[in-house]
Structure 1
Amino acid sequence: MESFRKAVREKTKRNRNRSLVSILDELKTYVRGWFGYFSIGLSKSRREELNGWMRRRIRQYIFKQWKTPRNRARQLIKLCPEFLKPHPEYIPDEWRSSCYKAAYNRSYWTVSGYSVVRYGLSNKVLKDLGMYFIPENVEKWFETAEYRPVRSVV
């Protein structure tokens, strides 16, 4: 388990200067291989815990790429979810102030757990960017594993 986290930390280091798409592709390859081998021994809650931790690492990486506090606030304001807007052009004051609070915080890990970042960079947004989600894909593997024909070795 710790080797998995260490490898993901290496791939999502904030100073790697690589595009998000290439990081997500590299991470997808590693995660699929690792979970293909080790997922049988992991409980569902442990898989979901690791998946949540990986999402937070990706949010941290994206937040770091926005560089300046002004740009971070601008990007977060643009990501305001539709269910908070009474009409499309309006951004609620609570959302705007939360964006500024997050933008001027210095700890990337802390900010990646803020609700404004979690709603702005939601699972749907991360999936659209190309992130690989563990629980839904592992469940598919388990469903198909039952029906594989077993060949005996003679």
Structure 2
Amino acid sequence: MEFLILLKSITKRSNGKGLSWLKNRLTEYIRGWIGYYYVADMKTFLQRTEEWYHRRIRCYIWKCWKRVRTRFTNLMKCGIGRWRAWQWANTRKGYWRIATSPILKCAITNDGLVRQGYPSLLGIYTKLHSN
């Protein structure tokens, strides 16, 4: 449970530290925690937690794209069509709700998050568990 509490405090939307700090801090914390507990069989726990974790990161990224223009251009860069990007950039839905929208899931995929440098809970776990 302490893992989720600390993970929640790292990914607070109001910390204002930026995405590079977030990536470094998450990598450091997740590797340390999984490295300590990797002997335990916690695959199902990590699967459930990873869904929440990816939603939390999407929420953080959406908050970083504060302005409508920034959201619009970034959604376009992620491959979303012009009209759909404009609609979703102007949405009034909250951060947590928009993080599960089909548009944001399409724009910021789980594989895309890993490619950008965000650590994968199951990836680190399977890498340590296979050795």
CA contact (8 A) 1:24 1:130 kept: yes
For residues 123 and 99 of structure 1, the distance between their equivalents in structure 2, rounded to whole angstroms, comes to 23
Residue 101, structure 1, aligned to residue 88, structure 2: yes
Mapped partners of 1:103, 1:4: distance in 2: 35
Deviation at 1:137, TM superposition (A): 2.0
Report the TM-score when normalising by structure 1: 0.75
Unmatched 5+ residue regions in structure 1? 82-90, 145-154
Does residue 139 of structure 1 match 2:102?
no
Larger Rg: 1
Number of equivalent positions? 131
2:57 paired residue number = 58
Aligned mates of 1:64, 1:47 — CA distance in 2: 25
The 1-side partners of 2:76 and 2:41 are apart by 38
Q: Which residue of 1 aligns with 2:107?
A: 120
Between 1 and 2, higher relative CO (CA 8 Å, sep ≥ 6) is seen in 2
RMSD of the alignment, in Å?
2.0
SS of aligned partner of 1:104: coil
* Distance (whole Å) between structure 1 residues aligned to residue 77 and residue 48 of structure 2: 29
Equivalent pair of 1:102/1:114 in contact (CA under 8 Å): no
State the shift of 1:35 in Å.
Answer: 1.2
